[in-house]
């Protein structure tokens, strides 16, 4: 079974400071990892993904994430936070072994990111 943990319900960062939103995962095979952002009363917007290759993945709006296989982590980062980054962030995983059509993503419970001016 695949699972995702986002240990922080909320992360508070001052504008201009670096931010990190944490995510750890558990899969049987190789992980396919995703970050999505959700603004109030909206659907999920794709930020970035890791499938294979370079452990540092760059995505939309200046976000990046680092895949760490030994720590089974995929933390989301941004060097300088903006107030407009304030939103709900979800980490998601799919196991490479989830064949047979079971291609659903498993999401974490989400982390509220609050950027203070």
Partner 1 sequence: DAGVTQSPTHLIKTRGQHVTLRCSPISGHKSVSWYQQVLGQGPQFIFQYYEKEERGRGNFPDRFSARQFPNYSSELNVNALLLGDSALYLCASREDRGTDTQYFGPGTRLTVL
C-alpha distances (whole Å) from 5 to each of 28, 70, 82, 102 are 16, 16, 25, 20
CA-CA distance, 61 to 95, in Å (whole number)? 27
**Contact with partner 1 (CB under 8 A) among 7, 62, 79, 104:** 104
Please report whether residue 51 would count as binding partner 1 according to CB under 8 A: yes
Residue 110 binds to partner 1 (criterion: CB under 8 A): yes
- Taking the least distance from each CB to partner 1, the nearer of 15 and 44 is 44
Give the separation between CA 13 and CA 71, rounded to whole angstroms: 24
Shortest Cβ distance from residue 15 to partner 1 (Å)? 26
Query: Of these, 28, 79, 109, 116, which contacts partner 1 (CB under 8 A)?
Result: 109
Q: Does 32 bind partner 1 (CB under 8 A)?
A: yes
59 part of the interface to partner 1, by CB under 8 A: no
46 token code pair: 């794709």
- 3-class SS of residue 66: strand
Q: Are 104 and 94 in contact (CB under 8 A)?
A: yes
| 63 versus 108: smaller Cβ distance to partner 1 | 108
Q: Tokens at residue 35, please?
A: 């970050």
Q: Is 5 in the site for partner 1 (CB under 8 A)?
A: no
Q: Which of 25, 34, 63, 67 binds partner 1 (CB under 8 A)?
A: 34
Per-residue DSSP letter, 112: E
């Amino acid at each position: 079974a695949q699972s995702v943990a986002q240990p922080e319900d909320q992360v508070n960062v001052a504008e201009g400071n670096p931010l990190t939103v944490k995510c750890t995962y558990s899969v049987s095979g190789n992980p396919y990892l995703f970050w999505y952002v959700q603004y109030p009363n909206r659907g999920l917007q794709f930020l970035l993904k890791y499938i294979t290759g370079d452990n540092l993945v760059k995505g939309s709006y200046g976000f990046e994430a680092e895949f760490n296989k030994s720590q089974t982590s995929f933390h989301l980062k941004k060097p300088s936070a903006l107030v407009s980054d304030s939103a709900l962030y979800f980490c998601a995983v799919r196991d490479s072994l989830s064949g047979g059509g079971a291609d659903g993503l498993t999401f974490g419970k989400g982390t509220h990111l609050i950027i203070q001016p």
